[in-house]
Structure formats: C-alpha cells, structure tokens
Copies of this chain bind each other. A is one copy, B any other.
Amino acid sequence: MFGLIGKITVVDGQRDTLMSILLEGTTGMPGCLSYVIAADSGDDNVLWVTEVWDNSESHAASLQLPAVRDAIAKGRPLIAGMTPVATTAPAGGHGL
C-alpha cells in the first residue's frame, strides 16, 4: 500500500470552504482505501489530508480524474501552502 500525510495551510478564513471542495471532489477514486480530510485542532488555517492507496499508480491516476482536477482548480486559490509531511507504506489497521 501507498500512503501520504499532507499538511495544507489555508488562506485565512477559507478552511471550511476548502474542506468542502476536497470532500466533494475526492469520492469514488479507484484504488483509494482511505482518504481523511481533517481540520487541525490547534490552528484554524491548517488542515490535514491522510491518504492510503492500494499503490502509488492509483494515486497518480487519481490526479487525472475530472472531479479531482476540478477540486484542485477550485481549491488552489484557497491554499497558502502545502507541506508533504510523509510518504508511507501502510502496513494495515482499521478502516482500510
């Protein structure tokens, strides 16, 4: 499995809007085992995306999906910064 942990810094006051864009655009992605969009509890302008895919090819392919491309286009103006915190090899767990 292939995993990503990413930290997104959002343009002030736009986190809820960005989260709804991401929630809407990231459903039904082939090979996606887990995709969690979460608000940082300590910083109103940070959100976290944690992902698990069956493999990295599925993740790469997802970036070409119309709904994902649309979400990226809509979301980009609301993003002040993106930090790729970790690339991982998930071993397992609950909810995959």
Chain A count of residues within 8 A CB distance of the other chain: 36
Main DSSP-derived SS at the A contact region: strand
Check if A91 sits within 8 Å of B19, measured CB to CB.
Answer: yes
Check if B27 sits within 8 Å of A94, measured CB to CB.
Answer: yes
CB distance from A30 to the nearest CB of B (A): 11
Check if B85 sits within 8 Å of A42, measured CB to CB.
Answer: no
With known contacts A34-B34, A48-B5, A39–B88 Cβ distance under 8 A: yes
Q: Does A90 contact B (CB under 8 A)?
A: yes
Check if A38 sits within 8 Å of B94, measured CB to CB.
Answer: no
Q: Does A14 contact B (CB under 8 A)?
A: no
* Cβ contacts A56-96/B at 8 Å (1 or 0 each): 00000000000000000000000000000111111111111
